[in-house]
Amino acid sequence: MKIRIATRKSALALWQAEHVAAELIKLPGISQTELLPMSTKGDEILDRSLQKIGGKGLFIKELEIAMQNGVADLAVHSMKDVPAEMPAGFCIAATMTRANHRDALITNGGVQLDELAENALIGSSSLRRQAQLKMLRPDLRVEPLRGNVNTRLAKLENGDYDAIILAAAGLERLRLDGHISHQFSPAEMLPAAAQGVLGVECLESNTELRKILKLLNNPTTLQTTSAERAIARVLNASCQSPVAAFATVEGGSLELTALVAHPDGGETIKDSITGDASEAEQLGETLAARLINSGARELLDSIEAMND
């Protein structure tokens, strides 16, 4: 069987697609893979925030159309970029082993966070990162930063920013981790739901392909991803919502921590839950309900109203 993989054109997206292709070719029944690089609206519109132009789905819509039209068989995504609610007719058929979950601080000359000058300018389009950065250093200024990894690094090197924050996994995959000045622990900066996880999407109706893709699943990553994405789904979090979630599994027990915070770092709602890893999704739903009871919905609504 030949598998056609729809992918975005960025260096990181191509790495991800090639990584999945290399794993697929090892599976029984797969004789050939082909990458189909495509441009998405999310890649093309760089002068506005994702929230204002349609959210995370803009990075995957064209890839889904290619699958619907029979041009491609599957698409590979960074799971933190996939909306918590999958569109009708599509599914995540494989959840790959999680890479580095951490956020990374990149500065010129390896300057550390506490060494940055007062009121230093940080580049990040993530309100989740902004909120937690402000909790660590309230004086810092944060301004939007979009584009692919190399574009963002170039803006830092050009002096447009004093520091930027990116996902460590993306930098490591592109062998650019030498630029990292500091990796934030989850205690310092809780990651986005499923950060560091690659997911493989296909048509729900393609049962033969789904059966094959299931072999790529990492059981532990599937559990942590289910728990973390349940938080985002129940909270109805968008790509710009300052919502973080991180789960770990040890000895059949899953521990999940989630955070909702105001972008200015002022108001924060954080809670954790521990339970049987086999009930990962239910644990996420329970924790999300607790966050809502603590005022998370009102906080998120006020933030969305502020950004309208």
Q: Any idea which residues carry the catalytic annotation? A: 81
Strand pairing category for 163-167 and 103-107: antiparallel
From the list 122, 144, 139, the residue with the least C-alpha distance to 52 is: 144
Q: 286: which residues sit within 8 A by CB, 6+ positions away?
A: 273
Question: How far apart, in whole angstroms, are the C-alpha atoms of residue 129 and residue 143?
Answer: 11
Start-to-end CA span in the chain (Å): 48
Q: Is 6 helix (H, G, I), strand (E, B) or coil?
A: strand
Token reading at 27: 């599976």
With b for 16 or more beta-carbon neighbours within 10 A and e for fewer, the 56-89 pattern comes to bbbbbebbbebbeeeebbbbbbbbbbbbbebeee
From the list 95, 64, 22, 62, the residue with the least C-alpha distance to 203 is: 64
Estimate to the nearest angstrom the gap between the alpha carbon of 141 and the chain centroid: 23
Q: Is 258 helix (H, G, I), strand (E, B) or coil?
A: strand
Distances (CA, A) of 73 to 21, 37, 249, 284: 12, 13, 32, 31
Helices 280-293 + 296-307 axis angle, to 10: 80
Question: How far apart, in whole angstroms, are the C-alpha atoms of residue 21 and residue 19?
Answer: 5
Amino acid symbol at 27: L
Q: Are 93 and 200 in contact (CB under 8 A)?
A: yes
Q: Is 161 helix (H, G, I), strand (E, B) or coil?
A: coil
